[in-house]
């Protein structure tokens, strides 16, 4: 068996075309979707992500506003900047690029963003709504994973899903989204005893632990679907995921790195921004 590749690039391309079409329709009603990205400091990876987001916004017709702040900016100043963005009618979505410098409390910054503009889906109110199955902004990477599976025709309901990783950004919300779709979910992490025992029972394995090529063929059962969320560098500085290439010989479906989950993350950010603009239109008519 050789795994079928779940092509995130192609799925993202299709979804972005749909988003661009809806953005054009909103503009005809004089609503111009806008995303503000706040970048603190000079982290190279963060700058790259922000550049990719700006490019994706341009291609979708979404207005992009970059607020670049120095590394030494105070927490109070950053919170004031967010408060101003919360008030701006031309800004429908706000994203603060993580990680932040050590002197700034990430939790306070996330909670300062208006839940109606929280297109990253990290605000406790949106997380709570997601947990209880209400309409909310969903975290972009787990949301992208769900869309990939749906577009590929992989059924989730009734399946056993094992999430390897428990971060607030990917692992925890991914498990909840699968649960909301009637999957049976097992969370595994650094303290899990006998990881292989758990992952070998899974119909779907989501690897989100941040360790290069960690998941091997002995970790999965024949015919499983494997979603690789990791973005790492191996010992040769080559880009790789959390899943070893040998898994392709045992899995039925596998996402590549690069070109798998990555393009979907930014796509769902665009979708959330479009959704926020639509909701602002509904509020203005109310």
Q: Rounded mean pLDDT of 26-54?
A: 94
Q: What is the pTM of this model?
A: 0.95
Residue 177, token pair as written in the block:
């989204």
Residue 95, token pair as written in the block:
């994203």
CATH 3.40.1190.20 fits 140-261, yes or no: no
Is 114 annotated as belonging to a binding site? no
47 exposure class (CB count in 10 Å sphere: 0-12, 13-18, 19+): middle
Q: Rounded mean pLDDT of 8-24?
A: 98
The active-site residue out of 97, 117, 203, 275 is: 97
**Does 285 score more than 70 pLDDT?**
no
**Does 250 score more than 90 pLDDT?**
yes
Is 227 annotated as belonging to a binding site? no
- CA separation for the pair 92, 113 (Å, rounded): 11
The full set of domain ranges for the chain reads 30-114, 140-261
Name the CA dihedral angle for 167, 234, 39, 33, rounded to a multiple of 10 degrees: -80
- CA separation for the pair 273, 286 (Å, rounded): 20
- CA separation for the pair 56, 60 (Å, rounded): 6
Query: CB neighbours (10 Å) of residue 172?
Result: 18
Q: What is the DSSP string of 127-193?
A: HHHHHTT-S-PPPHHHHHHHHHHHHHT---TT-EEEEE---TTTHHHHHHHHHHTT-EEEEE-TT-S
**Does 262 score more than 90 pLDDT?**
yes
Question: Is residue 120 flagged as an active site residue?
Answer: yes
Question: Is the distance from CB of 11 to CB of 153 less than 8 angstroms?
Answer: no
Range in 160-164, 170-174, 201-205, 278-282 with the lowest mean pLDDT: 278-282
Express each pLDDT in 167-201 by its tens digit: 999 999 999 999 999 999 999 999 999 999 999 99
Q: Do domains 30-114 and 140-261 have the same CATH topology?
A: yes
pLDDT of 286? 53
The active-site residue out of 15, 53, 172, 250 is: 53
CATH topology of domain 30-114: Rossmann fold (3.40.50)
The active-site residue out of 118, 120, 203, 242 is: 120
Is 231 annotated as belonging to a binding site? yes
Express each pLDDT in 109-127 by its tens digit: 999 999 999 999 999 999 9
Helix axes 261-285, 8-27, angle to 10 degrees: 20
Q: How far is CA 2 from the centre of its chain?
A: 27
């Amino acid at each position: 068996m050789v795994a079928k590749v779940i092509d995130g690039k192609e799925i993202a391309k299709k979804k972005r075309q749909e988003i661009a079409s809806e953005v054009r329709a909103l503009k005809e009603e004089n609503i111009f979707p806008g995303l503000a990205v706040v970048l603190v400091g000079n982290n190279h990876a963060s700058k790259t992500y922000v550049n990719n987001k700006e490019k994706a916004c341009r291609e979708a017709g979404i207005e992009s506003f970059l607020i670049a702040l120095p590394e030494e900016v105070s927490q109070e100043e950053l919170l004031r900047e967010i408060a101003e963005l919360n008030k701006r009618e031309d800004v429908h979505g706000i994203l603060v690029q993580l990680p932040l410098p050590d002197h700034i409390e990430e939790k306070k910054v996330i909670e300062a963003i208006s839940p109606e503009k929280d297109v990253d889906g990290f605000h406790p109110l949106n997380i709570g709504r997601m947990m209880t199955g209400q309409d909310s902004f969903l975290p972009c990477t787990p949301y992208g994973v769900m869309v990939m599976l749906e577009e590929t025709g992989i059924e989730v309901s009734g399946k056993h899903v094992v999430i390897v990783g428990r971060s607030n950004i990917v692992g925890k919300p991914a498990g909840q989204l699968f649960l909301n779709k009637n999957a049976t979910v097992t969370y595994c992490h650094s303290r899990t005893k006998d990881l292989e025992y758990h992952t070998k029972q899974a119909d779907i394995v989501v690897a989100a632990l941040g360790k290069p090529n960690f998941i091997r063929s002995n970790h999965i059962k024949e015919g499983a679907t494997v979603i690789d969320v990791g973005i790492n560098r191996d010992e040769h500085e080559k880009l790789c995921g959390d899943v070893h290439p040998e898994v392709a010989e045992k899995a039925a479906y596998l996402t590549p790195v690069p070109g798998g989950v990555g393009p979907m993350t930014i796509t769902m950010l665009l979708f959330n921004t479009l959704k926020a603009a639509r909701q602002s239109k509904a509020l203005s008519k109310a």
